[in-house]
């Protein structure tokens, strides 16, 4: 509530997820011959970074990610900073769009780019 009162925009996880779904369908509808804008991929991230990127892409907040992965919010922020730097991004929205576009590329090519190595946390995610 404080952030909204300060002028920040708030959107619920379902809204963000729907937005990402809609944008994903737009990406999937593009000409398949269109070259990818960046040579950077999620495959260049560590398995934990990919896991966090995918959770952000799914609309999870830092707090939700921290709780799910049994880490602190500060650690989530540190991971996000590293992810943004490695991929040349500057916001969660850009990361969510990058994840959605990567998912579309991975689906078309049959790649497993979005699947992080199995960790205790990702095993827990699979069972939720």
> What residue spans define the domains of the chain?
12-24+43-126
What pLDDT sits at residue 61? Answer: 94
What pLDDT sits at residue 124? Answer: 46
The answer, yes or no, to whether residue 91 has pLDDT greater than 80, is yes
Contacts of 38 (CB under 8 A, 6+ apart): 87, 88
CATH number of 12-24+43-126: 3.40.50.2300
Q: Are 115 and 103 in contact (CB under 8 A)?
A: no
- Tell me what the mean pLDDT of segment 94-116 comes to: 70
How many Cβ atoms sit within 10 Å of the Cβ of residue 13? 12
Contacts of 8 (CB under 8 A, 6+ apart): none
- Tell me what the mean pLDDT of segment 5-30 comes to: 68
Task: Give the C-alpha separation, 49 to 61, whole Å.
Answer: 15
- Tell me what the mean pLDDT of segment 61-67 comes to: 96
**pTM reported for the whole predicted model:** 0.57
Q: Of 39-48, 49-58, 93-102, 109-118, where does mean pLDDT reach its minimum? A: 109-118
What pLDDT sits at residue 74? Answer: 97
Contacts of 18 (CB under 8 A, 6+ apart): none
CB-side neighbour CA atoms (13 Å) of 109: 13
Higher-scoring residue by pLDDT: 84, 43: 84
What pLDDT sits at residue 4? Answer: 65
Contacts of 125 (CB under 8 A, 6+ apart): 51, 68
């Amino acid at each position: 509530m404080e952030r909204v009162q300060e002028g920040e925009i708030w959107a619920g996880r379902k809204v963000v997820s729907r937005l990402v779904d809609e944008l994903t369908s737009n990406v999937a509808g593009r000409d398949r011959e269109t070259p990818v804008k960046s040579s950077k991929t999620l495959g260049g991230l560590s398995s934990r970074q990919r896991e966090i990127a995918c959770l952000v892409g799914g609309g999870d907040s830092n707090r939700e990610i921290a709780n799910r992965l049994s880490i602190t919010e500060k650690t989530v922020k540190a991971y996000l900073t590293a992810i943004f730097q490695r991929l040349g991004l500057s916001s969660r929205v850009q990361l969510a769009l990058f994840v959605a576009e990567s998912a579309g590329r991975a689906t078309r090519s049959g790649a497993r780019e979005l699947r992080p190595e199995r960790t205790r946390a990702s095993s827990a995610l699979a069972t939720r």
